[in-house]
Amino acid sequence: MSRVSAFKLFVCCENCLKESVRRIDVPDHPDAPADIDELMESSLLQRQRFVCQQCESAIGTITGAGVVYDDEEEEADQEELEPIYF
């Protein structure tokens, strides 16, 4: 099974509604999240801070997430998520 090397988060700014993609690299660790559900519950996500590059708003909504595997190119499928606020 491929190891998850990173997650991609699709984040929508609450202020200017601009979407951006954020990459979260996953440490090589036994407790590292292996799928999106685990990522959502992990401290990795809680440590993220969102700042919009357009308007510098600090409130963003996660609208989707994708998984990037070690042995794959970066194209991850986007999974729709319930909105999560940073």
Candidate segments 21-29, 37-45, 55-63, 75-83, binder of Zn ion by CB under 5 A: 55-63
Roughly how many angstroms between the first and final C-alpha of the chain, as a whole number?
Answer: 31
Q: Does 58 bind Zn ion (CB under 5 A)?
A: no
Give 7: exposed, middle or buried? Use CB within 10 Å, 0-12, 13-18, 19+: buried
Phi, psi of 44 (to 5 degrees): -60, -45
The residue from 2, 3, 16, 83 that contacts Zn ion (CB under 5 A) is: 16
The residue from 20, 42, 57, 63 that contacts Zn ion (CB under 5 A) is: 57
The residue from 21, 51, 55, 58 that contacts Zn ion (CB under 5 A) is: 55
Q: Tokens 């979407």: give the residue.
A: 19
Residues that bind Zn ion (CB under 5 A): 13, 15-16, 52, 54-55, 57
